Amino acid sequence: MTATEPSHLILGATMPNGTTADVLIQGEVIAAVGTDAADRADEATVRIEAAGRVLLPGLVDLHTHLREPGKEDAETVETGTRAAAMGGFTSVHAMANSTPVADTAGVVEQVWQLGQEAGWCDVHPVGAVTVGLAGEQLAELGAMAQSRAQVRMFSDDGMCVQDPVLMRRALEYVKAFDGFIAQHAQEPKLTAGAQMNEGELSSMLGLAGWPAVAEEAIIARDVLLAQHVGSRLHVCHVSTAGSVEIIRWAKERGIEVTAEATPHHLLLTEELVRTYNPVFKVNPPLRRESDVMALREGLADGTIDTIGTDHAPHTAETKECEWTVAAMGMTGLETALPVVQHALVDTGLMDWAGVARVMSVNPARIARLETQGQMDPDGGLAAGAPAHLALYDPNITRTVDPETHTTKSRNSPYRGMELPGQITDVFYGGHPVVRDRALSAPRQHR
């Protein structure tokens, strides 16, 4: 941002804890909250009438696929972070399954630099656990941690670290710099050729099944490994009721495990596969209604810590084809908060303080992001904190049209669905990257 940029005064916004307050943004920080915010504003201050809108700490996503380098036909750091800004995110973690794989300091620094140049939100590269995601040899974990990208999160997402000895070594290694391993929990021998959730419906449709135990077995093994070595484990995209129970069991015993659920696993079920529309093909697959309810309850009671979008853009050529050869994955950055409102807030399972907890505070804490996801002990926003903020209108309903989305890809599973809410304004380090429901201008990093 520039020195001449005006301050911003947000008037009458609803804080996460339900109170109403004015918020003054000056420079890169929240200068004042409450009665003195308006008094400290000058004539040049831009005023935003925010009555009825919720002001959240900027959202933090631990699970984003930006595809660059190598798959720029599906997404780039520029287009993906534009979509993130439109979804209210001020920080995203870019998964390692690019081409080349982000398994060296050079690749993660390239992704980090692209994020800095784009200027729409912070981009934190996720380093691969193993070379080439092949599960045979540890990648340059220490070099990536010491690079300019300062990687702390490592994952072979899309591929499970199947070898228990290799997983143990990775968990031990990252302790040296307070890193953590984010596991894609999928036993490959139980899911060979899998196309959807295993059950009665998969048999009826003639599609190879992906059994719940393939996820649950890896999670059970890994929480015990994490306990054994005293390291941090994060479970990506939890999708089954059994997985929630295992994570709950582990937390009760003090094991350092955290977990995420995706928006699509909080709303969509395997019944959609009856259409054979590949937009609903995802890994892990859409599960049963009982699994959806268990995930919602797990988020509400704190068993599941975060919501990660698993934003996975694909080209039309790889997605709009017959089911068995279609790529797995869905876009999700721009619809995440509306889905969360629909599935958790509007159902009474979670208030806006809870949303801030699972979409801002907890992911920032897990990733050790000191400038993101900050709230005061009462669930409000505190003066002096970095001005990473998202203003959200929960009182409108929109029909999802992927053709209007900012992401480069169109594989949204919510096409034609009515969802509540819309991000109206986003401040990234005090700079408005979204204003009046549209992209404004990127932040210029000094």
C-alpha 352/C-alpha 372 separation (Å) is 17
* Partners of residue 209 on adjacent β-strands: 196
List the structure tokens of 435. Answer: 């204003």
310 is catalytic: yes
Closest CA to 239 of 272, 271, 262: 262
Q: Is 228 annotated as a binding residue?
A: no
Q: Topology of domain 8-55+375-439, per CATH?
A: Urease, subunit C; domain 1 (2.30.40)
Q: Name the segment(s) of the chain with CATH classification 3.20.20.140.
A: 58-366
pLDDT tens per residue across span 403-430: 999 999 999 999 999 999 999 999 999 9
Q: Is 237 annotated as a binding residue?
A: yes
Bridge partners, residue 391, by sequence: 55, 425
Question: Mean pLDDT, the chain, as a whole number?
Answer: 97
pLDDT for 379 beyond 90: no
Question: Using the 8-state DSSP alphabet, how is residue 50 labeled?
Answer: -
Q: Which of 218, 226, 167, 214 is nearest to 189 (CA)?
A: 214
Residue 1, pLDDT score = 43
Distance separating alpha carbons of residues 12 and 144, to the nearest angstrom = 44
pLDDT category at 2 given cuts 50, 70, 90 is very low
Only one residue has tokens 């069991």, namely 249
Residue 184 known to bind ligand: yes
* pLDDT digit string, tens, across residues 231-268: 999 999 999 999 999 999 999 999 999 999 999 999 99
Q: How many residues in the chain?
A: 446
65 annotated among ligand-binding-site residues: yes
Q: Which amino acid is at 225?
A: L
The reply, when asked if residue 388 is annotated as ligand binding, is no
Cβ-contact 438, 424 below 8 angstroms: no
Q: For residue 88, which of 336, 400, 340, 403 has the smallest C-alpha distance?
A: 336
Rg of the chain over Cα atoms, rounded to whole angstroms, equals 21
Closest listed residue to residue 11, CA positions, set 32, 2, 43 = 32
State the CATH class of domain 58-366: alpha beta
Q: Which member of 22, 291, 310, 425 is catalytic?
A: 310
Within the chain, which residue ranges are assigned CATH 2.30.40.10?
8-55+375-439
d(Cα 254, Cα 274) in Å, to the nearest integer? 41
